[in-house]
Amino acid sequence: ELAITSDEALSLDDLPKRAVVFGGGYIAVEFASIWRGLGATVDLFYRKELPLRGFDDEMRAVVARNLEGRGIKLHPQTNLMELVKTDNGIKVITDHGGELIADVVLFATGRLPNTKRLNLEAVGVEIDKTGAVKVDEYSRTNIPSIWAVGDVTNRMNLTPVALMEGTCFATTVFGGESSKPDYRNIPCAVFSIPPLSIVGLSEEEAIEQVNGDVLVFTSTFNPMKNTVSGRQEKTIMKLVVDAETDKVLGASMCGPDAPEIMQGIAVALKCGATKAQFDSTVGIHPSAAEEFVTMRSVSRRVTARGKAKTNL
């Protein structure tokens, strides 16, 4: 009654002057950026220490700094306990006893698969405890004639991933060629201001999965467009490399045009590119993207299980 979801946020009659956003994922960060960019006062509440759980921790911290730099008020490790309608707006009460007044409160805390109205139990289709349809690696349910793709299966909930799953389904069922989705090195972007984009493993995931050492390369600089405008907002780039094989395991960037740049980097990772191949690639100058092929110095070397061996 007193809060909205992202569905209603796209059809508001008026731009809110005071917005509260609850959540730390894609939708929360993006709408907080949109409303702040349009001039609203924005307070962003989330339960963890940093927004964007599941992303590289270093890049999460960069996004948090940028959000604050844009004027968004961050409230980490804070939950909303009560909303009260008043003559002046919606009173928001937190679990820390804080109170503020907002024109709109957006809940962006995730969604459950919308399967209840499908009556799947009538035909015996198995679903998990969240309501997601259970499928095998080819997107087939336990009923041979029923298949499911996209967010309803709660695998990797991204639009292009759903398209990939649908294409593989069509190839398998109608093309006569067994085809299953490949979830390795799928790039994605959070359209905050500036945006964050990643592909492959985060530093934390690499440390967990690689048997040997992990090399981390980083670059921080002020984009030329920011230099001209006077905005003090740094671009951060990062490569995570397997020290033994020299294979690039992950790449991330937070800064202007990050999604456009990361799409090309994703092709390289899909092809199994090594750091040496990155280094041997000639950069396009002047561009931000050239930093990905000119990072020569190791920022840190980390052993498996997270112990830093060398900081350079």
State the helix-helix crossing angle for 57-69 and 26-37, rounded to 10 degrees: 20
Which of 298, 51, 14, 63 lies closest to 192, judged by CA?
A: 63
- Across 69-228, the runs of DSSP E, i.e. the strands, are 73-75, 80-86, 89-94, 99-102, 104-107, 188-190, 196-200, 214-221
Place of tokens 């390369």: 217
Range 6-107 classified under CATH 1.10.3720.10 = no
| pLDDT per position as a tens digit, 6-21 | 999 999 999 999 999 9
Q: Is 54 left (phi over 0), alpha (psi -120 to 50) or beta?
A: left
| C-alpha 192 chain-centroid distance | 10
CB atoms within 10 A of CB 134: 14
Active-site pick, 122, 129, 232, 285: 285
Distance between CA atoms of residues 77 and 200, nearest Å: 28
Q: What is the mean pLDDT of residues 27-54?
A: 97
Confidence of residue 308 (pLDDT cuts 50, 70, 90): low
Sign of the four-CA dihedral 85, 89, 92, 98 = negative
pTM for the full model?
0.92
Three-class secondary structure of residue 127 per DSSP: strand
| pLDDT per position as a tens digit, 98-109 | 999 999 999 999
Q: What is the mean pLDDT of residues 43-64?
A: 97
Q: What pLDDT is attached to residue 232? A: 74
Does residue 285 carry a catalytic annotation?
A: yes
| pLDDT per position as a tens digit, 193-239 | 999 999 999 999 999 999 999 999 999 998 877 777 777 789 999 99
Residue 93, exposed/middle/buried by CB under 10 A (0-12, 13-18, 19+)?
Answer: middle
Instruction: Look up the CATH superfamily of 191-303.
Output: FAD/NAD-linked reductase, C-terminal dimerisation domain (3.30.390.30)
Q: Are strands 188-190 and 41-45 parallel, antiparallel or unpaired?
A: unpaired
Q: In this model, does residue 309 exceed pLDDT 70?
A: no
Which residues are 43's β-sheet partners?
Answer: 20, 73
Residue 248's identity, in one-letter code, is: V
Q: What percent of the chain has pLDDT over 90?
A: 93
Question: Domain-by-domain residue ranges, the chain?
Answer: 6-107, 120-175, 191-303
